[in-house]
Structure 1
Amino acid sequence: MVAAVPYIHNKSYRRHRPEQNLLYRKIETYWPIFLKEQQRVGKALPHFVRDEFDGFLECGIPENGFVRVYCYGCRHSGIIPFSCKRRGFCPSCCARRMNDEAAHLVDAVIPEIPVRQWVLSFPFKMRFLMARNQGLMNKALKIYITEIQSFQRKRAKGVGSAT
């Protein structure tokens, strides 16, 4: 006979309370004003933009929907508000998606060999210039790739497996 050992749960779920976030408060305050102004001047936003903002304002708020959960082990019950699951700018949903994608890459895509990640960063003024000028961006990317390839070739020759 096996004795039942109760599961002791130290932490309890705490809602992240998006309505207390500065971004949420600003959008909640100014989004209706912006929509009224757009309507006043006779302009319309695309539906996907309106849906994104409306979904963000409903994300994580229990009044907009939730699921009640119960743990038979610790006999704790609670509610978990629905999330918007949008791809735009919701910090909570974007972080969840990013975490899920990283786990998928590690578990299923990247083989079990050493992997090196290369990051290229530019000063803000350069970022804005390259965002507006596709040719400049292409030239910077070409230089970046050429330098990485050169580095890798030199390193491979040093190890004795030159290509």
Structure 2
Amino acid sequence: MRFHSLPESKRYADTATEYQILLDRYNTVLTELFAGHPVYIVTMSFVPDEGIEVWSPTDPHALNPGSRPWTRLREDDDDDPGGTMHLHVSEQRWKPRILDPLLRAVADDECPGVIIMDTDLRRLYLPYDGGADVILTNPQERDALKNSHADWLSTHPLGL
């Protein structure tokens, strides 16, 4: 299911109040999913084949405390030159606000590809600029979370 991070499906925050709303929404759902339990936090960076250094003001791995290199994945696309995704992972016990700097960078589209998941890999939280996708273990769990935050859902017929 997909939750939007701001009212009326606004994609980006412009004010301190809007940043507070989106961080509250991210943290509320994350806490409902993982409160007090260990989670894996995965961050990703991309290095294209041309050797052109991709400059970003935000280092996603620096915003993932205690992260270490996990794996590299090759990405090739007909429209874009290939490259390698570098994935780092950390393990932390979830508590609200521990990832606010990372979540804010995600909301500003500075750190794509973040995944937060339980250590059994049964629940996944994938924040993006504009909201978060949540993958749960069963339809009952999905429906309960969906019903508790119905006003954060898209009004689009496909839920996007």
Q: Please say whether Structure 1 and Structure 2 have the same fold, judged by a TM-score greater than 0.5.
A: no
- Flag the structure with higher helix content: 1
Larger RCO, structures 1/2 (Cα 8 Å, 6+ apart): 2
Q: Could you state the TM-score of these two structures normalised by the residue count of structure 2? A: 0.23
- Flag the structure with higher strand content: 2
